[in-house]
Structure 1
Amino acid sequence: MIDFEWYRSFISIYKHRSVSAAAKARILTQPAMSQHLAALEAEIGEPLFIRAPRKMVPTDKGKELYTKIVPLIENLENTTLEMLHSSSSKGLAPVIRIGSPAEYFTKRALSSIQHLEIRFLAQFDVASILLEKLEKDEVDLILTTQKSQHQGIEYRKLEVEVFVATAPPEYETDAKNAEEIEQWLLSQKWLSYGLELPIIRRYWREHFNKRPDFQPWHVIPDLRSILEGVENGLGMSILPTYLLEKSVQENKVKVMFPELTAENTIYAAYKVDHKNNPILEKVLDAFKLNN
């Protein structure tokens, strides 16, 4: 029995004229792609490509198969999308699976998509794990600060987060120049997202041209919990401004040295193969309108 994935691999090889390029586009290993092609050729009973140096040249049978199956697969994909719309019209909205850092989804992303007639399944994790989930088709879309070089994945810039030094409201200093500011910061207790001081390192490089030379007092892998810790006087941290608005207004925290900031770009990432999905496009448009 022919596996549908063999056809998808065949089409990718046909378009790219290369097994390795097709494998990268489909986010598969080259041996897996070769196995798909070999299995399909065994079922067809004829070679579909001539293996030339650095190029796969389709045979007449390969050209014939490509011409016949591409319209069928496109029709199958369109039928699936029509069924999604049909389900929506019957009161069952379509679903999209979104991976994101928990705090960003809660404080920023959720408000952008809450008005859409789309159901969403959210998964929270760090950027590296979210990318793995996207590659394995466990999510349809991820929100991430890391832009990888994986072929077959497309990125859209959503916004630039601005991070500032955040401390309990009773903290005071008369430090003015960079050296004095750094010395004052080094004398404080720090709350960090991880032992490697993510974002704190960027803040230090940006303003003091060096790596921070200290260990965090507390490590809490959730920015919302770090903010709670700062509010309760456990120390200070570098946090995004969107997370601080209410706390600053209520005088639960204060921004130290507001002229010193660090930035982090947020991207939406998805597989190129899915870029024409109207549900995905609607969600991306919603993010764009709100940033």
Structure 2
Amino acid sequence: MDLSLLRTFVTVYRAGSFTRAAALLGLSQPAVTSQIRALERHLGRTLFLRQARGVTPTAVGDELAHRAAPHLDALVEIAETGPYGRVGARTLHLAGPPEIVSLRALPALTTLVSEGLTLRTAVFTASEESLDGLAAGHHDLVVSTARPRGGPLTATPLCDEEHVLVAAPRWAARLAQDTPHEGSTILNRLPVIEVHESLPFVARYWSAVFESKPAVSAAVVVPDLRAVLESAVSGAGLAVLPRYLCEGALESGCLVALLEPPVPPLRTYFLAVRVGTLALPHIARAQETLLRAAIEW
């Protein structure tokens, strides 16, 4: 069997589309289609079901990908770094939300960079966008708040993030008479700072703590939680922030936790990879390093 057919098959499997696979391989879409058909004829089995948007692997396709992908990746590793190449002698493409990538993932990977790993990052506020890029082969590891299920991706829980309702002390003083159940009162009395018009952090907090939906608009919208933090410290209004991000401001008194619910709202992060790519030493080492570091997060 021509190994190039298997390489094309694995690329289509991971990309979920002949068109995306063609772009990754530097081939035309008809050439990719022809190679997949040739492999299917050789095996006598159908590997993909053609859909309106992309392709879905059959059970045979899933089995072949899980068996072939690690070996193909290992051959690529040898071809690019030599049989005795260092673990760090490759480029790792990491993607995820800007805050956790900047403040958690990158510092944890510093030791690998010192060993020779080349690191490239991309930040996305929407997990779907980063996971689509992972499936298409644009990234090697993705930190995501969504857990992919099935298909070309697999994920491992990375860490839980506690969310805290915070505001500057002068705003907290105005709420001294409110009780923990007066969520609507809090929102009506304070401006809201958020990362999006849909109030994703406030809405999640209100659903978990008050079992209701916020019925207000944001006074400040900025798509970076670090900017939300600075806006809250400056007194622009209330915000819902990860505790790790605002811990310093809470300890210094620049921010005050408006509530301390018995069960604080949590959000889980996952570390996602393409099936089979952990056979590549530099990706496996980076995943292991992040999972180990996340124990302290």
Q: What is the TM-score of this pair, normalised by structure 1?
A: 0.76
Range with bigger deviation, 70-79 or 220-229: 70-79
Question: Residues 71-82 of structure 1: matches in 2 within 5 Å?
Answer: 73=72, 76-80=75-79, 82=81
Separation of aligned partners in 2, 1:74 and 1:106: 28
* Matched residue, 1:229: 231
Q: Which amino acid is the alignment partner of residue 272 of structure 1?
A: V
* Matched residue, 2:24: none
Separation of aligned partners in 1, 2:275 and 2:59: 22
Separation of aligned partners in 2, 1:270 and 1:8: 18
Question: Quick one: which of 86, 107, 110 aligns to 2:103?
Answer: 107
2:283 pairs with 1:280: yes
Separation of aligned partners in 1, 2:278 and 2:206: 38
Aligned-pair CA distance for 1:144: 1.0
Structure 1 spans left out of the alignment, 5+ residues? 13-21, 58-68
Aligned-pair CA distance for 1:83: 2.9
* Matched residue, 1:238: 240
Separation of aligned partners in 1, 2:189 and 2:69: 65
* Matched residue, 2:208: 206
2:16 pairs with 1:28: yes
Rate the CA distance shift 1:71–1:28 in 2: closer, same or farther, 3 A.
closer
Separation of aligned partners in 2, 1:129 and 1:102: 13
SS of 1:235's partner is coil
Aligned-pair CA distance for 1:39: 3.8
1:170-193 CA deviation, whole Å, 9 max, x = no partner?
222234644334412332100011
**RMSD of the TM alignment (CA)?**
3.4
Q: Is the 8 A contact 1:85 1:94 kept in 2?
A: no
Aligned-pair CA distance for 1:109: 1.4
Aligned-pair CA distance for 1:206: 0.8
Question: Residues 137-286 of structure 1: matches in 2 within 5 Å?
Answer: 137-149=137-149, 151-170=151-170, 171-172=172-173, 173-175=175-177, 177-259=179-261, 261-286=264-289
Rate the CA distance shift 1:34–1:153 in 2: closer, same or farther, 3 A.
farther
Structure 2 spans left out of the alignment, 5+ residues? 22-28, 50-57, 61-67
Q: Which amino acid is the alignment partner of residue 271 of structure 1?
A: R
* Matched residue, 2:52: none
Rate the CA distance shift 1:85–1:193 in 2: closer, same or farther, 3 A.
farther
Rate the CA distance shift 1:244–1:84 in 2: closer, same or farther, 3 A.
farther
* Matched residue, 1:50: 44
Q: Which amino acid is the alignment partner of residue 253 of structure 1?
A: L
Separation of aligned partners in 2, 1:75 and 1:221: 39
Separation of aligned partners in 2, 1:202 and 1:76: 45
Aligned-pair CA distance for 1:265: 0.6
Separation of aligned partners in 1, 2:139 and 2:202: 29
* Matched residue, 1:83: 82
Rate the CA distance shift 1:258–1:179 in 2: closer, same or farther, 3 A.
closer
2:92 pairs with 1:96: yes
User: Sequence identity, in percent?
Assistant: 21
SS of 1:275's partner is helix
Q: Which amino acid is the alignment partner of residue 191 of structure 1?
A: I
Separation of aligned partners in 2, 1:74 and 1:227: 42
Rate the CA distance shift 1:150–1:221 in 2: closer, same or farther, 3 A.
farther
Q: Which amino acid is the alignment partner of residue 142 of structure 2?
A: I
SS of 1:164's partner is strand
* Matched residue, 1:19: none
Rate the CA distance shift 1:78–1:123 in 2: closer, same or farther, 3 A.
closer
Q: Is the 8 A contact 2:92 2:140 kept in 1?
A: yes
Q: Which has the higher contact order (CA 8 A, sep 6+)?
A: 2
Q: Is the 8 A contact 1:81 1:277 kept in 2?
A: no
Q: Is the 8 A contact 1:50 1:56 kept in 2?
A: no
Range with bigger deviation, 150-159 or 32-41: 32-41
* Matched residue, 1:65: none
Aligned-pair CA distance for 1:274: 0.6
